[in-house]
Amino acid sequence: MSGLEQWNWSLDGWIIAAGILCAVSSALLGNFLVLRKMSMLGDAITHAILPGLAAAFFISDSRSSIPMFAGAVLAGILTALFTEWIRSFGKVDEGASMGVVFTSLFALGLVMIVQAADHVDLDPGCVLYGAIELTPLDTILISGWEIPRVVVVLSVVLLINLLFVVLFLKELKLSSFDPALATTTGFNATLIHYTLMTLVAVTAVASFETVGNILVVAMFVVPPAAAYMLTDRLVRMIILSAILAIIAAVLGHISAMTVPRWFGFQSTSTAGMMAVAAGLLFIIAALFAPRHGIIVVFVRRQILAWKILAEDIIALMYRIEERDPQLKPDATYLREILFSSPLPTDWSLHFLARHGQVIDSNGTYELTETGRDRARQLVRSHRLWEHYLVEHAGMSAENIHKQAEQLEHFTDRQLREKLNKDTLDTDQDPHGRPIPPEDERG
C-alpha cells in the first residue's frame, strides 16, 4: 500500500500548488539572506510576528485579515530594526541581539494571545504548524473558479517577490556582495535591506497563516544554500533555488503521504516533510556538487596531496643523487625522510614509475632522464625561492625552508625566470648549495 492511490488531484494538486508557491516565494528572498549571512533573521522574523498578530487583533478588535497582516508585517520589520539597534547602540554581538529580540517578542506574543485564548473555545484537534493539508477546503470564487484562498494569497506574494528580485537584481547583487560600495555608488543599501526585510515578513505572515512557519523558515535557507553549493553565479543560484524549492515541495507532499505507510502509519505533516525533503536535496548538493561539493573538494585535495608527495619524492631523490650518487633509495628510506605514510608513498612511486619519472629496480628507485629534469626544476624553484625570501622578504635563513617547500610546487618556468632575474642570476641558495640550471645543458 503506497498511499498514492489516495491521490486526488483536486485535493493534493492544490496542496502541492500551495507548497510550491510558498517554497518558491521564500527561496527567492532566501538567496539574499544566505548571501548576506542573515539566514537566521528569517527564523527570527517568523517567530516575532506573533505579537504583531495579537496586537493588531486587540487594537482593531476584529478578526479581519488586513489589520492582522499589517500588524504582523510591522512586527517583522521591527525585529530587524530592534536587532540592528541593540547591535549598534548596545554593542551586542549580532547573534545575541537577534536572540534577545525574537525570543522577547515571541514571549510577548504568547502572553498577549493566551490572554484572549483562555476565553475562546478552540478545537485542539485542528492544525499544528500550518494547515497546508486543509488548504483546499477554504476556497474563494475567482471568475467562476473555486480556488483555495491560500493559493491566491501566496500567488500574490510570489508575484511581489518575483518582481522585487527581477527589478532590483542589480541593487540586490551589489548590496549583498559589497554593501560599502553599494552605498558609495549612490543608491540606498539600507532601503534595499529594509525592503527585503519587509518582504521576508510579508512572506512569513502569508505562509504562517496558511502553511505553517517551519516550512517558510526551511525554504528561506535550505534551497538557496543548496543552490549556493551548485553555482557561483547569482542568477543561476536564484533559478536553481526556485527549482529545488519546487522539487522539495512535490517530494515533500508525496513522501508525507507514502513514507509513514511503509511503517504502517497514516500520512503525516506535509510541511514537515517538505523541510525534510529540502534537507535531503541539500545533502545531495553539498556532497556531489561539481565544484564545491564535499566529495569533489576532498578528491581534489587528495589528488593535490599525492601530486605534491610525488614531487617531493623526485626532488628528494635528486638531492640524494646530488649528495651521494651511489645511494639507491628504497621506499622505506624515502618515507622516513618525508614522514609520509606507507600507502600514499607506494601509490606515488607507482604513479611516478608509470609516468616514466623513476625506475623501480628490485625495490630501489632511480630517477629517469625525464624524472631528473622535473626534479631539477623543482629543486631549482625551491632554492630560488629560498634566495628570494632571504633577499627580498627579509626572512632569516633558518625559517625559509618550509615556505619554499610549499611554493616550489606552484612555480612554473616563467616564474622561475622572474625569480632568477630578481635574485640576480645567483647560482647558490642561502644555505650555500648550488641552484641547478633550468636545463641540463643550460
Partner 1 sequence: MRPYFLVFLLASFVPQSLVIAEDNAREIQSQQSITDRSITMPTWSDWKRVLFLQDYNTRIVILGTTLLGMSAGMVGSFALLRKRALMGDALSHATLPGIAIAFIVATTLGLDGKSLPVLLVGAALSGLMGIATILLIRNLTRLKEDAALGIVLSVFFGAGIALLGIVQQMETGHAAGLESFIYGKTASMVASDAWLIGSAGMTCMLISILLFKELTLLCFDEGFADSRGFPVVFLDMMLMGLVVVVTIIGLQAVGLILMISLLVIPPAAARFWTEKMVNMTIVAIVLGALSSMIGSAMSAIFPNLPSGAMIVLVSTAMFLFSMVFGVPRGILIRKLRRYELNTKINRQHLLRGIYEYLEARGLLNEKQRLESIQVPIDAVFQMRSWSRPKLKKIIKRAQQEQLVELVHENQMQLTEAGLKEAIRLVHEHRLWELYLITYADVAPSKVDQDADAIEHVLEPEVISELESLLVQQTSEGVLQSPHTIEIDRNKTNSQNPHARRLR
Q: Which is nearer to partner 1, 71 or 436 (by Cβ)? A: 71
CA 365 to chain centre: 45
Q: Is 39 in the site for partner 1 (CB under 8 A)?
A: yes
Task: Fill in the per-residue mask, 68 to 87: x = in contact with partner 1 (CB under 8 A), - = not in contact.
Answer: x-----------------x-
Q: How many CB atoms lie within 10 A of CB 43?
A: 20
Q: Which three three-digit cell numbers place residue 295? A: 566529495
SS3 category, 250: helix
Task: Fill in the per-residue mask, 325 to 364: x = in contact with partner 1 (CB under 8 A), - = not in contact.
Answer: ----------------------------------------
Q: Is 115 in the site for partner 1 (CB under 8 A)?
A: yes
Q: Is 275 in the site for partner 1 (CB under 8 A)?
A: yes
Among 262, 265, 288, 347, binds partner 1 (CB under 8 A): 265
Q: Is 394 in the site for partner 1 (CB under 8 A)?
A: no
Q: Which is nearer to partner 1, 148 or 371 (by Cβ)? A: 148
> Closest approach of Cβ 175 to partner 1, in Å?
17
The Cα 244–Cα 225 span in angstroms is: 10
Question: Residue type at 98?
Answer: M
Q: Is 50 in the site for partner 1 (CB under 8 A)?
A: yes
Give residues 134-153 in contact with partner 1 (rule: CB under 8 A): 138, 149
For 361, phi then psi, to 5°, come to -115, 100
Q: Is 233 in the site for partner 1 (CB under 8 A)?
A: no
Compute the radius of gyration of the chain from its Cα atoms: 32
Q: Is 64 in the site for partner 1 (CB under 8 A)?
A: yes
Residues 25/161, Cβ–Cβ less than 8 Å: yes
Taking alpha carbons only, the member of 82, 76, 17, 15 closest to residue 42 is 76
Q: How many CB atoms lie within 10 A of CB 331?
A: 18
With residue 63 as reference, give the H or E element that holds it: none
Q: Is 301 in the site for partner 1 (CB under 8 A)?
A: no
Q: Which is nearer to partner 1, 247 or 390 (by Cβ)? A: 247
Among 260, 296, 368, 405, binds partner 1 (CB under 8 A): 260
Taking alpha carbons only, the member of 292, 275, 276, 293 closest to residue 284 is 293
Q: Which three three-digit cell numbers place residue 276? A: 525534510
> Closest approach of Cβ 182 to partner 1, in Å?
20
Q: Which is nearer to partner 1, 151 or 215 (by Cβ)? A: 215
Give residues 184-213 in contact with partner 1 (rule: CB under 8 A): 208-210, 212
Q: Is 99 in the site for partner 1 (CB under 8 A)?
A: yes
Question: Residue type at 125?
Answer: G
Q: Is 114 in the site for partner 1 (CB under 8 A)?
A: yes
The Cα 59–Cα 56 span in angstroms is: 5
